[in-house]
Structure 1
Amino acid sequence: MDERKRDSMVAYLRRRMAEVGIELDDLAAAIAEDQIRQKAARYRSATGESWSGDGEMPLWLKQAISAGQTLDHFTVARQAQPESEPRSKVDWRQDPFAGSRLAAVQPLHRDV
């Protein structure tokens, strides 16, 4: 997204937030709450529904299992432990594209 589009989107969001009465603190609290909820999730569907594994199994997971899917399929991958060795430093002064547009352009597709 180019900077002009980004600035336009930010202005639009700020205007809509002011119209509805949403403060930045409200938004930050909602994001923090979502992050806590996502961290606690042990199982997650493709549509974003999650379950911590505590309490009764949610309907979406019961239906998927009864349809033949395994519980392991929905397990949230835990993040890898940080490496004990520090990464080697990169000398960006030797980068021929540093500071140019090529350094910021994102590829249109990603190989998976």
Structure 2
Amino acid sequence: MDQRKRDSIVAYLRRRMAEVGIGLDDVAAAMAQDENTARYRSATGETWSGDGEMPEWLKQAISAGQSPKHFAVDGTASQCHAAARRKTDWREDPFAGTRLATVHPSSAHAL
């Protein structure tokens, strides 16, 4: 979209919001409420509330073998991954942060 068209749309929206009495706080609250109703979110930010027909992006992911829990907004899958990361204590690893930690094993013999 070109800048002139974008500016025209923004001006129209601001004018209509002023006519109806909608402020930026109202828009932010509505957006936050919309985000809270989403039960699934794709990597690109698309959401689905779980009502109605399943969106194509989720159908494709499931048919490719991905679990719907992976896309759950409530964070059950991400909480499991975060808990697993917290259990690893890298402070005692003598190679953490060094070049040895980043060298691929197949190229290690070349050193």
| Length-normalised TM-score, structure 2 | 0.46
TM-score by length of 1: 0.46
Question: Which structure's residues are more often helix, by fraction?
Answer: 2
